Amino acid sequence: MASKSRQLIASLSSRIRGVIFDMDGTLTRPGAIDFARMRERCGIKPGGDIIEFVNNQSEPLRSKLNEILIEEEEFGLKRMELMPDIKQLFDYLIENNINRALLTRNNDTIMNRTVELMNYAKQEPFSVMLSRTFSPPKPHPDAIHHICQRWKLNVNEVLMVGDSLDDIKAGAAAGTKTVLIGLEDNHLYQQALPHADFVIKNLFELINVIENINNNAPESHSSTTTAETIIVQSEEENKPSIENRS
Ligand SMILES: [Mg+2]
């Protein structure tokens, strides 16, 4: 944390009108899917990109490995729990007309079943949902551009929220601001930390991030800021490259 400066937002120029969420470990509690066992069963080295590896195999191996992924994801679904604060966050986003999208490397079935658990919301929780059937997957930025086009929003009006480096890299490559969710003792969090614009410990803190950005954006005349939540912003040298902005 020594390389980070703690400060509230002062320089962002656009209001946030859309939020793209990763699913596993972001909207659901981390650890439901045993990725280590998934890699071991598929013969993938620790930390290796699972979807890329499987997609690069030829048939019939590819189908067999895909079956293993789905089986492990099904095991994960049984252990899966939504994050606390998710209802409050989605009530806030809906009340403030902020668009919501889901962008996951998980499969369609698990994505749909997870979203079914969010059926308390006043509206459909998401206007766009993309599973790994959308190619190329994160960290490629195409899916984020696709979502922004569907919303007719500029990338600087959108936040990408996730718990891993793939999410943060995808957001940075697309040109959105990025929000890392997680706890310091998690290795995924540590990998992604140097690349994230904002860091939150729980979904409730995302409301403060959005409020701070929107209260400081030029088109807003509100002067109130919420200073209770500490928002960690990367130092200049760690910020994602802006050359990839569209
Ligand atoms: Mg995740």
Protein fold of 5-29+82-238: Rossmann fold (3.40.50)
> Higher-confidence residue: 146 or 48?
146
Q: What pLDDT shows up at residue 111?
A: 92
The answer to whether the beta carbons of residues 144 and 118 sit under 8 Å apart is no
Distance 136 CA to ligand 1 centre (A): 17
> Residues near 142 by Cβ (< 8 Å), separated by ≥ 6?
134, 136
pLDDT higher than 50, residue 237 = no
Among 3-7, 176-180, 191-195, which is the least confidently predicted range?
A: 3-7
Distance 164 CA to ligand 1 centre (A): 6
The amino acid at residue 142 is D
Condensed to tens digits (0 to 9), the pLDDT of residues 179-236 reads: 999 988 888 889 999 999 999 999 999 999 999 999 888 764 443 333 333 333 333 3
Name residue, tokens 């045993």. Answer: 34
- Report whether the peptide linkage leading into residue 136 is cis, meaning its omega lies within 30 degrees of zero: yes
> Higher-confidence residue: 3 or 121?
121
Q: What pLDDT shows up at residue 208?
A: 95
The answer to whether the beta carbons of residues 188 and 163 sit under 8 Å apart is yes
11 confidence band (pLDDT: 50, 70, 90): low
Q: What pLDDT shows up at residue 61?
A: 96
The answer to whether the beta carbons of residues 102 and 115 sit under 8 Å apart is yes
Ramachandran angles phi, psi of 26, nearest 5°: -115, -55
Distance 218 CA to ligand 1 centre (A): 33
Give me the chain's average pLDDT, please: 83
Instruction: Name the region of 157 (left: φ>0; alpha: ψ -120 to 50; beta: rest).
Output: alpha
Condensed to tens digits (0 to 9), the pLDDT of residues 62-117 reads: 999 999 999 998 888 888 899 999 999 999 999 999 999 999 999 898 899 899 88
Distance 8 CA to ligand 1 centre (A): 26
**Angstrom distance (rounded) from CA 21 to CA 200:** 13
> Higher-confidence residue: 126 or 123?
126
Percentage of the chain modeled with pLDDT above 90: 61
121 confidence band (pLDDT: 50, 70, 90): low
Distance 24 CA to ligand 1 centre (A): 4
Helix (H, G, I), strand (E, B) or coil at 136: coil
Domain chopping of the chain, boundaries: 5-29+82-238, 35-79
Distance 26 CA to ligand 1 centre (A): 6
Give mean pLDDT, residues 43-50: 90
Helix (H, G, I), strand (E, B) or coil at 188: helix
**Angstrom distance (rounded) from CA 60 to CA 135:** 20
Distance 219 CA to ligand 1 centre (A): 33
Long-range contacts of 87-93 (CB under 8 A, 24+ apart): 87/120, 87/121, 88/203, 88/204, 88/207, 89/203, 89/204, 89/206, 89/207, 90/118, 90/121, 90/125, 91/121, 91/122, 92/207, 92/210, 93/19
The answer to whether the beta carbons of residues 104 and 131 sit under 8 Å apart is yes
pLDDT higher than 50, residue 8 = no
